[in-house]
Structure 1
Amino acid sequence: MERVYNFSAGPAIMPVSVLKTIQKDLLSYQGSGMSVMELSHRSSLFQSIMNDAESLLRELMTIPSNYKVLFLQGGASLQFIMLPMNLGKTKVAYVNTGSWSEKAIEEAQKVDGLTVEVIASSKENNFIENPEIPLVSKEYDYVHITTNNTIEGTAFLNIPANGEVSLVADMSSNILSSSYEVSDFGLIYAGAQKNIGPAGMTVVIVREDLIGLKENLPAMLDYKIQADSGSMYNTPPTFAIYAAKLMFEWLKELGGVAEIEKINREKAAMLYAAIDSSTLFYSPVSKNSRSLTNIPFVTGNAELDKLFIKQAESQGMINLKGHRSVGGMRASLYNAFPKEGVNKLVALMKEFETKVEGKEQHVRH
């Protein structure tokens, strides 16, 4: 079966080579006679998978030795509450840059005795541009940012200065697609279903001095318990961790994060150039805040947007419909998305624009 170009914001496209390896291992992993999905999480086979996954991620992101790497469940959404429960002692700061930031803020506000302050927000301009982030004082336990906004199409590609306060980041949609210094952060968390693999696993990278700050937390929501048990306090998401290991191997073979960022910038530049040169399509996002991985664009006419999406689907380009809060189209160009798909989308945009302009001229005459 011919594969489509999947522009989904997540679960997202995975490399064919990785999918073929999964297919091969599905019935018998390394001659064990068991599917990779049937392996005991206490077995030496799975422990090797877990060790390799962590080692590869540490290498790809140059994670310092004083950081723990956790493979957890619950998605990034669970981290919205797990984070403030573990790190929030008195007062925390949040930067509001979109829908997922707002959800994180709402969850943090549920922690008893914790003051949650929004120190910067782009809500007033409909989240089309990153806000200026002020330096904060030591009275805050951490400052939280979302490095990439899948819905609004904005990103912090350069990390704002945060003084001596720990910076925490939700990197769900651009982890491993852009280069960041892990040491700039106290904690990073990311759902897997964008650049890491299938849904079901969440990566948490946390500096050791931020673990165990609070006692008597629910076991499943305690970073210390999870770290002390090697992410195996309960049965971990074994299949998702296995698939993540394969994705890490694929990325390493490709040349690592620096190389994939170069490719991602090329893909994004192609699409942004087509949008900016168009007389029909336009980007609602300010140029200085644009994401490399999630690119919304619109015509300003809902019926034309629907027609374009329909034509794209007929040519094997799916999941281009924009989020309901933004409308229009959204192309998610994660690590595994091929340049050929971007070329095909750009070609359709130009063809569609020509037809629309031709019809308008015909009506005028």
Structure 2
Amino acid sequence: MKHNFGAGPGILPHEVLKQASEAVIDFNGTGLSLLEISHRSKEFEAVLDEAVLLVKELFGVPEGYSVLFLQGGASTQFALAPYNLLPSTGKAAYLETGVWANKALKEAKFFGEVEIVASSKESNFTYIPKDYTIPADAAYFHITSNNTIYGTQLQEFPKSPIPLVCDMSSDIFSRKVNVADFGLIYAGAQKNMGPAGVTLVIVKDEILGKVDRKIPAMFNYQVQIEGGSMYNTPPCFAIYVSMLTLRWLKAKGGVEVIEQENITKARVLYDEIERNPLFKPVCATEDRSHMNVTFVMENAELEKPFLKLCDERGIVGIKGHRSVGGFRASIYNALPITSVYALIDVMQEFAESNK
């Protein structure tokens, strides 16, 4: 048995994979593969409609917001957000908490002035900045809710006097969120929602249409809203798998239930890291992620032997990002707590043999 701690594309529920594989051969008894049916067919339109409804239900999306399933990953949203929201003579504010936040603000500089209100770059992003002022004259304030590489997470979202834009790629649907506090939420699907290839966008309608530039149709949120996420052929399979994953989440009891499961998984793993003499955490305690648990060895020479033992025990995807080193255990929604205990068993076994 494999225990998949990979950072992304991440683990998906087994029952979702089974249903999706069946749909590749014969989708809903049509005699056709999901991969070859028309995106304009009533069968796929029903999939897209259900996916949108599940997003609204599970996340409590209020009236006045549109839900889109787009392509290009969150990295494309780094540019689309300022393209649609930042006037050419305006300013956007950014909180720099990691590589992805840095890439987002670099893209925004193509469209207008960017102010970095706070950064933890000097500590290699081991904490989330707290004491900063959001400029009221900026078009929006951009944050990254969870930092996969560094293992930090905003445990509370800031109260912003301007539209709050958030990249939630790695913790979407992992905890309760008050969508009404945000102007724009976007997330690549491949951590908690589905496979790579589709990106979820939740946007407050009233913040659109305020820039003075012409925006090409594919990059224009308003055009995509009018087209119902089908201005061009959408990634049908990725949307279908996302819909199945959202069904799975609803059947489990929704975001409230999965949030408690995620808190428990994170707590028992952090407890072992703190207790085990061979390992140590790298992030500020109050900012530790419930999705990506990062840690290192007290003796770096033991890293390779530990990874070898993990491989022998079926622990997959635990090697840390090259910019941080050490280890990273990604414990997304679909990862069962039994896999976390399997990792803990290996950590304890390794400590026992390396006293």
Aligned-partner Cα distance in 2 for 1:354–1:154? 29
Task: After TM superposition, give the deviation of residue 23 of structure 1 in Å.
Answer: 2.0
> Which residue of the partner structure matches residue 140 of structure 1?
138
The unaligned stretches of length 5 or more in structure 1 are 358-365
Count of residues in Structure 1 that have an aligned counterpart in Structure 2: 352
Give me the TM-score of the superposition, normalised by structure 1. Answer: 0.95
* Map of 2:276 onto structure 1: 278
Q: Give the alignment partner of residue 334 of structure 2, picking from 333, 336, 348.
A: 336
Counterpart of 1:284, as a letter, is V
Deviations 1:222-248 (A, max 9, x none): 111111100111100100000000000
Kindly indicate whether residue 172 of structure 2 is the aligned counterpart of residue 175 of structure 1: yes
> How far did residue 330 of structure 1 move?
0.4
> Does the Cα contact within 8 Å between 2:117 and 2:133 map onto a contact in 1?
no
The answer on whether the counterparts of 1:7 and 1:318 sit within 8 Å (CA) in structure 2 is: yes
What residue is the counterpart of 1:298 in the other structure? 296
Q: What SS does the aligned partner of 2:294 have?
A: strand
- Alignment-derived partner of residue 76 in structure 1: 74
The CA deviation string for residues 137-188 of structure 1, in whole angstroms up to 9 with x for no partner, is: 33100000000000000001211121x2111100000010011100010000
Question: Residue 218 of structure 1 is aligned with which of 216, 219, 225?
Answer: 216
- SS of residue matched to 1:205: strand
In structure 2, the partner of 1:95 is: 95
Q: For the residues of structure 1 that align with 2:137 and 2:13, how far apart are their CA atoms?
A: 45
Do the aligned residues in 1 keep the contact of 2:93 with 2:135 (CA within 8 Å)?
no
Deviations 1:32-67 (A, max 9, x none): 111111111111100000000000110000001210
Q: Distance in 2 between matches of 1:135 and 1:57?
A: 32
SS of match in other structure, 1:298: strand
Return the offset for 1:135. Answer: 3.4
- Alpha carbons 2:278, 2:299 under 8 Å: kept: no
Once the two structures are overlaid, the 10-residue window that deviates more, 216-225 or 194-203, is: 216-225
Q: C-alpha distance in 1, partners of 2:143/2:57? A: 24
| Residue identity matched to 1:211 | L
- Kindly provide the CA deviation profile for residues 320-346 of structure 1, in whole angstroms up to 9, marking residues without a partner as x: 100000101100000000111100100
Q: Is the contact made by 1:212 and 1:223 (CA closer than 8 Å) also made in structure 2?
A: no
User: Is the 2:150–2:294 contact (alpha carbons within 8 Å) kept by the matching residues of 1?
Assistant: yes
Looking at structure 1, the residues matched to 308 and 232 of structure 2 have their Cα atoms a distance apart, in angstroms, of 44
Residue type of the alignment partner of 1:195: N
Shift of 1:300: 3.8
CA offset at residue 133 of structure 1? 4.5
- TM-score, scaled relative to structure 2: 0.97
Which residue of 344, 347, 350 corresponds with 2:345? 347
Look up the SS of the partner of 2:325 in the other structure. Answer: coil
- Whether 1:105 and 2:105 are equivalent positions in the alignment is yes
Structure 1 contact 135–161 (Cα < 8 Å) conserved: no
Q: How is 1:245-264 mapped onto 2 (pairs within 5 angstroms)?
A: 245-264=243-262
% of aligned pairs identical?
Answer: 47
Distance, in Å, in 1 between the alignment partners of 2:132 and 2:327 is: 33
Partner Cα separation in structure 1 for residue 268 and residue 34 of structure 2: 39
Structure 1: distance between partners of 2:40 and 2:73: 23
Do 1:95 and 1:133's aligned partners in 2 also have CA atoms closer than 8 Å? Answer: no
Deviations 1:249-280 (A, max 9, x none): 00000000000000000000010000011211
- Give the distance between the partners of 1:307 and 1:233, measured in 2 at CA: 51
1:131 aligned partner: 129
